């Protein structure tokens, strides 16, 4: 295997796949889909404190995971007073699923999968 191919890919699809490779982040995405878990009575999503309570993790750990998910474009963050509320970007998750299918079905050298995740 060539040294260049052993380096971590930095394309959009790889960034998103690394974000969901961590089981804790997948659990967070599942929690964000549920309704009625937000202390601020928001219709969807959860505040950071709610995530801490449901996940049993410390605030810095939740912040790290949420930053990774946000940088991958899979969640949205909104400041509400002193709170930060997070919600899933379901459209981005659907695009990710579609891009993974395209990537795995494409022929070697075909770049369609990479183009699909650039947004």
Pair 87, 101: CB distance under 8 Å: no
Question: Tell me, what's the pLDDT at 29?
Answer: 96
- Mean pLDDT for all residues in the chain: 84
User: CB-based contacts of 76: which residues, under 8 Å, 6+ apart?
Assistant: 45, 70, 86, 87, 88, 89
Q: Which two tokens stand for residue 75?
A: 């969640």
Strands in 46-47's sheet, in edge-to-edge order, are: 46-47, 83-88, 75-80
Instruction: Tell me the fold of 9-105.
Output: Arc Repressor Mutant, subunit A (1.10.10)
Task: Note the pLDDT tens digit of each residue in 56-66.
Answer: 999 999 999 99
Three-class SS string for 2-67?
CHHHHCCCCCHHHHHHHHHCCHHHHHHHHHHHCCCCCCCCCCCCEEHHHHHHHHCCCHHHHHHHHH
Query: Is residue 100 predicted with pLDDT exceeding 50?
Result: yes
User: CB-based contacts of 2: which residues, under 8 Å, 6+ apart?
Assistant: none
pTM for this entry: 0.78
Task: Note the pLDDT tens digit of each residue in 13-70.
Answer: 999 999 999 999 999 999 999 877 777 777 778 999 999 999 999 999 999 999 999 9
Question: Tell me, what's the pLDDT at 94?
Answer: 96
Query: Is residue 109 predicted with pLDDT exceeding 70?
Result: no
For 111, the 3-state DSSP assignment is coil
111: confidence class by pLDDT, cuts 50, 70, 90: low
């Amino acid at each position: 295997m060539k040294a260049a191919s052993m380096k971590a890919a930095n394309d959009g699809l790889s960034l998103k796949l690394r974000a969901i490779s961590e089981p804790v982040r997948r659990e967070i995405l599942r929690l964000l889909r549920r309704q009625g878990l937000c202390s601020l009575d928001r219709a969807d999503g959860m505040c950071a404190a709610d995530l801490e309570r449901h996940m049993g993790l410390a605030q810095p750990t939740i912040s790290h995971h949420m930053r990774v998910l946000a940088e991958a474009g899979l969640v949205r963050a909104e400041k509400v007073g002193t709170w930060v509320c997070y919600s899933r970007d379901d459209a981005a998750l659907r695009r990710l699923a579609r891009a993974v299918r395209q990537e795995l079905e494409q022929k070697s050298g075909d770049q369609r999968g990479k183009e699909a995740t650039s947004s």
